[in-house]
Amino acid sequence: MKQNSRPINVGIGDLASFKWPITALTSITHRVAGVVLFIGVAFMLYALDLSLSSEEGFINLKEMMTSPLGKLITWGLLSALAYHFVAGIKHLVMDMGVGETLEGGQFAAKLTIFFSAALIALAAIWVI
Amino acid sequence: MVSQVTSMSRNGVSDWLVQRVSALVLAAYTLCIFGFVVINPGIDFETWSGFINTTGMQVFTMLAILSTCAHAWIGMWTIGSDYLREHTLGSGATTLRFIYQIGCVLIIAVYLIWGINILWGNN
């Protein structure tokens, strides 16, 4: 049985009993942001399609994106993108062997939160 | 080494590499698009479509769409194989995971075809 040779990972049911160190929080948030972006691609493609279809399409899209719901979706997707981007850069840096100790990982997690929070705040200002 | 037909890639090392190369393409594309939008406040249709419809940006956008598909597949596959598992969900987990993977593949296929259509179907 090949299944038996596979590593055992955690299940959704185990979540409540876990401790959530900062590194775990930043890791799961990276995943959640990735799933949000996966769904968000539909919105991005729709926007790209409309923006390139015609002058009216472009103006339509601008109106949609400046409506309250449009602003919320835009900010939400920008936030997910900002977080996934920053956490992804952290991964690439760690792949190069930087910050692989426990302290290094915790510091990198803090940097991820700091930079993504700054970008998410900037996105909010830009969208409004 | 564990091999599964549903992984749709040769091995984890190739997944690892594809995930990082596609990430770099997507990061560069993101910076490029945001850079253009930020240096062109109050952008109009002419400027925007003129920019995206240059050959260079069409190629870059196509690369970004392909990278999105590869990146999303590896990410969604990883999430499915981490959480939709027998030891927590019981014997139906494999069926559920298979349906989930088919769903992901279908969505990615739609994104790919839609993206190609947007890039070369509009004009």
Residue B66 belongs to domain with CATH number = 1.20.1300.10
Residue B44 domain-assigned? yes
Q: Exposure of A59 by Cβ count < 10 A (0-12 exposed, 13-18 middle, 19+ buried)?
A: middle
**Locus of tokens 């948030």:** A29
Helices (H), B40-122: 45-52, 55-83, 86-89, 93-121
Residue B18 domain-assigned? yes
Residue B2 domain-assigned? no
Residue B1 domain-assigned? no
Residue A92, token pair as written in the block? 């690439």
ipTM over 0.85: yes
Asked if B107 lies within 8 A of A3 by C-beta distance, the reply is: no
Q: Are A112 and A87 spatial neighbours (Cβ–Cβ below 8 Å)?
A: yes
DSSP state of A10: -
Q: Is residue B6 scored above 70 in pLDDT?
A: no
User: Which 61-90 residues of chain A touch chain B by CB within 8 A?
Assistant: 81, 85, 88-89
Residue B40 domain-assigned? yes
Q: Is residue A9 scored above 70 in pLDDT?
A: no
With cut-offs at 50, 70 and 90, classify the pLDDT of residue A1. Answer: very low
User: pLDDT value at position A6?
Assistant: 65
Q: Is residue B35 scored above 50 in pLDDT?
A: yes
Q: Is B75 on the interface with A (CB under 8 A)?
A: yes
Q: Is B114 on the interface with A (CB under 8 A)?
A: yes
Identify all chain B residues contacting A89, using CB atoms and an 8 Å cutoff: 27
What is the percent of chain A where pLDDT is above 90? 79
Total domains, chain B? 1
- Considering only CA atoms, which of A82, A70, A79, A67 is closest in space to residue A46? A70
With cut-offs at 50, 70 and 90, classify the pLDDT of residue A13. Answer: low
With cut-offs at 50, 70 and 90, classify the pLDDT of residue A128. Answer: confident
Q: How far apart are CA A31 and CA A46, in angstroms?
A: 23
Neighbours of B11 (CB within 10 A): 11
Q: Is A45 on the interface with B (CB under 8 A)?
A: yes
**Locus of tokens 């999430």:** B79
Residue A118, token pair as written in the block? 């700054």
- Considering only CA atoms, which of B78, B56, B63, B77 is closest in space to residue B22? B63
Helices (H), A16-67: 22-53, 55-66
Among the ranges given (A109-113, B79-83, B88-92), the one the predictor scored with the smallest mean pLDDT:
B88-92
Identify all chain B residues contacting A92, using CB atoms and an 8 Å cutoff: 20, 23-24
**Locus of tokens 């939400």:** A76
> Closest-CA residue in chain A for B37?
A126
Q: Are B77 and B7 spatial neighbours (Cβ–Cβ below 8 Å)?
A: yes
Q: How far apart are CA A13 and CA A16, in angstroms?
A: 7
Residue B4 domain-assigned? no
Q: Exposure of A103 by Cβ count < 10 A (0-12 exposed, 13-18 middle, 19+ buried)?
A: exposed
The average pLDDT across A72-86 equals 97
Q: How far apart are CA A22 and CA A18, in angstroms?
A: 12
With cut-offs at 50, 70 and 90, classify the pLDDT of residue B92. Answer: confident
Distance of residue A44 Cα from the nearest chain B Cα, in angstroms = 10
Kind plus residue range of the DSSP H or E element containing B32: helix B12-39
- Considering only CA atoms, which of A25, A49, A35 is closest in space to residue A81? A35
**Residues of the domain holding B41:** 9-121
Domains of chain A from N-terminus onward: 22-127 (1.20.1300.10)
Residue B45 domain-assigned? yes
pLDDT higher for A11 or B109? B109
